[in-house]
Chain A
Amino acid sequence: MSPTSSVTIESFLKGILCLAVAMLVLLFPGLSGTQSNAASCLKIGLPEDPRTLNIWLASDRNSRNILSQIYQPLYTRDPDTLKLVPWLAEQEPVFDAETLSYTVRIKPSKWSDGSELTSEDVAFTGRVIKDFRVPRLASRWNFIKRIETPDKHTVRFYLKEPKAIFLSRTLTTPIVQKKEWIKIVEKARGTEKPLIKLLNHKIEKPVGSGPFILKEWRQGCYLFLQKNKYFFGTGRRISGRILGPYIDSIIFKIYGTSDAAILALKKGSIDMFWWRIQAGYLQDLKTQKDIQIFSNEKSGLYYIGFNVRKPPFNDVNLRRAVATLIDKDFIISRILQGLAIKMNSIVPPGNQFWYCPEVPRYAEGLNREERIKKAYEILRKAGYTWQLPPVNGQGKVVKGKGIRLPNGQPMEKFTILTPPADYDPLRAMAGMIIQEWLGMVGIPASAKPMAIGSLIQQVKGRRQFDSFILGYGRLDIDPDWVRNFFHSSNDKPRGWNMSGYKNPDFDRIAEESASILDREKRRKLIWEMQKMILQDVPYIPLYNPRLIEAVRKDKFSGWVGTLGGIGNIWSFCEVRLN
């Protein structure tokens, strides 16, 4: 071929390169920027983009973090005492036992667009949740018969039956603006799939009543929030704190990986990273002089659960033996690097009011050998036999083999399902360790990490499993979930009672606890429930990870730590320039 006839490929490629550079200009049209006051602009790192700004769809941590600056509830929790304090509401709700109604008065306050926040908005929010059966919220509102608005600042809720969770759950729901949502709601109502229509509605500039309003969201890069000049709390004293916000704006930067965010924190590109700090970074961060570490308890529960519907775990003795064999201290000190609190009951100890310290405990402070001996005792008494018992004639511990159930059947190999390493390497590791411990006594366990979706499908949906390790990171402070997790009526596909625990006594107390309104009496019941669970161990509570967070202290101060960390509304109303 003649060389001159061929196109010079180099120049061809060069042309494309020029095109690519030109694309910079074409694909990213300059947007008119919004003013950011660099002086008192708080920069916060986020691990991922928020899912959405539509409050009804927002189920992930990041969206909720953002939206918690914008949408506000009637009541919120005091950071120190964890008691409910009036937020949008003026004072405590007034209960009328005769009509079974609560009356709430609202503070005079405004939406971020300047219009007034009225009782109509509150009633509207409740109706939307009820009518559309908004996931996660509907169960807190469906026992409300009727909502009345006698005047602009008064709302009255009529309940179908007494509900303990009304104050703590229903009245802590964030309130939305009727004006903003009425059209969207009306449009969605007429469609075939109203809920999805509502959830999928794109909200660009949410109108809220919180300390900040959203100015700009550049997907995958940052969110820019500015101070809401209409915020009702500004200058007001609530729970002994005079609220701000004392900063002009917040920028949330998306980092994707913890490494990057923590490097940015060390370098000073962000003032706070709104996520748990893993143990590995801690050592290093502690030595940095501008970094302050906060360690708060979470309202969490990480546990191993059993399928008590079928052998081998339908036998409470085996479950107790497993509880004896599990060395929580080892898991906490080795796998979690000490950054967790040992869970004795299923309610975390940080939830001071509801936590029961008197639950049965298993093998407290024993070493491995003593644990094995004790577990062996429990199992032997219950009729389990071995080919080679884990404790031999001389009373020495050996590796047990060939365990048989009391009915003479050999115990079949069973699995401990755990989340995969990419989701939570620590739980995956805990599963492996527990497998080893059980193996020493001859209990044939095998840890199996599984994608979280499949795991939950298996445990909750199909309910075909032997045991699993899961955890809740953000349980509500109100312990109503204790009832939900173990009530026999929730033993159904997708139900909360994953273990299949059935105990009529428990059911009775649990039902009583749901409708009792007296706090002290309710506490007694909740304690009773905790004792029952630890007696029958459908779940063995393992640990509750501590929430370690880090901020820079060279520019801002005033963070408020509480159960669940420093990322709360109090912090953002209090943080100020040094």
Chain B
Amino acid sequence: MSGKSLDNRRVQKFHWMSRFLSGWAIFRQSFLGKIGLTLLALFALMALCSFIPPLVDPMYQPMAGVDPEISTVTGPSTRHWLGTDFMGRDLLSQLLAGARVAFMVGVSAAFMSVFLGTAIGMIAGYMGKFADTLLMRLADIIMVMPALVVLLMLAALFGQLSIWFIVFFIALFRWPGVSRVIRAQTLSLKHRPFIEAARVAGASHLRIIFRHITPNVLPLSFLYMTFQVTSAIIIEAALAFLGFGDPRTISWGMMLQWVWKTGHMFNAPYWLLPPGICISLITLSFYMLGRAMDEVLDPRLRKEGQTD
């Protein structure tokens, strides 16, 4: 028995390696994938660079640092490559810090929602019956709630939400989509011979879920993660744009909100354009990455990869 399972694992490992390599080969051919990855690398670089300006001079601190000589909006200059905002803060350092926040929000919200979605999808699919019905109806309820509107409501009712709360709620609203797909996948796996075999061999439910089902649904979860990242970033940005974001973080949506609310929308293009372009491009790159991975995994699996 133990020998058999070891064998099984080895086969699976090999299977994984080859799958990854062949996947990578397809991915490399994908035009979209390449663009997406390049863009993402650029944004990652931006996020890393965000630590540099405050070291150069405290006036480059994105939130609290103001240029001692400038107290209004100014255009690009050698001192401030993108100009300054209405109180003399450096826009470039804000933009860089925004990249960090976008990654943080996007990845953590996506990770949480995919984790939730996968877990719930697997449980629902594997357990079936009552648990399935209950969880899927719950998913239905959450799915009909427009995430942005609900978050707006929460923000308006409970006061300014902290960025982690926002992340958490985005995750809470985004899992049902994932869990539906994972459930379907689990359902189809459940009756595959190797699962039946494991069950006959006396493997516990937990073991079956973790050893046999999880590895098979993970690639799909991973794919969903890229789409979840885009939607998380967009929701956070929209919330911040409408003025319901976390005022203690500098995100691109926040920058847009400032330019909008302080009335510099139409006379400071160096302030209005960069954050908008960044939000659009980072969502685009994650989206492209997702589609490229999609092609790698299985073109037929895609039905509902749309994010809003």
Contacts and interface: CB of A to CB of B under 8 A. Distances in A.
Q: Tell me, yes or no, whether A binds B.
A: yes
Interface of A: 257-259, 262-263, 277-281, 283-284, 333-335, 337, 420-423, 425, 428-429, 432-433, 436, 448-451, 453-455
22 contacts: A259-B260, A262-B263, A278-B261, A278-B262, A279-B72, A280-B73, A280-B262, A280-B265, A280-B267, A283-B267, A333-B71, A334-B71, A334-B87, A421-B245, A421-B261, A425-B261, A428-B247, A429-B87, A432-B64, A448-B160, A451-B158, A451-B159
Given A259-B260, A281-B264, A436-B64, 19 more contacts: A259-B266, A279-B86, A280-B265, A334-B66, A334-B71, A334-B87, A334-B88, A420-B159, A420-B244, A421-B160, A421-B245, A422-B243, A425-B243, A425-B258, A432-B63, A432-B248, A451-B158, A453-B157, A455-B159
Given A334-B87, A420-B243, A420-B244, A449 B265 contact: no
Q: Which of A277, A334, A429, A432 has the most CB of B within 10 A?
A: A334
A451 B160 contact: yes
**Chain A residues touching B, majority SS:** helix
Given A280-B262, A281-B263, A334-B87, A421 B159 contact: no
B156 interface: yes
Contacts of B72: 279, 283, 337
Return the 7 tightest CB-CB contacts between A and B, nearest first: A422-B243, A280-B263, A278-B263, A280-B264, A450-B159, A451-B159, A281-B263
A455 B160 CA distance: 10
A334 B73 CA distance: 11
A448 B160 CA distance: 8
Nearest to B73: A280
A263 B265 CA distance: 11
Nearest to A454: B159
Interface residues of B, number: 32
B179 interface: no
A420 B240 CA distance: 11
A204 to B, nearest CB: 31
A19 to B, nearest CB: 25
A125 B208 CA distance: 79
A254 to B, nearest CB: 18
Nearest to A423: B243
B155 interface: yes
Interface string B127-162: 000000000000000000000000000011111100
Contacts of B157: 451, 453-454
Among B160, B258, B260, chain A packs the most CB atoms within 10 A around the CB of B160
Contacts of B242: 422
Interface string B260-288: 11111111100000000000000000000
A429 B262 CA distance: 12
A425 B261 CA distance: 8
B87 to A, nearest CB: 5
B263 A279 contact: yes
Given A425-B261, A451-B160, A263 B266 contact: yes
Residue of B88, B155, B262 ringed by the most chain A CB atoms within 10 A:
B262
B80 to A, nearest CB: 16
B244 A280 contact: no
Contacts of A422: 242-244, 257, 261
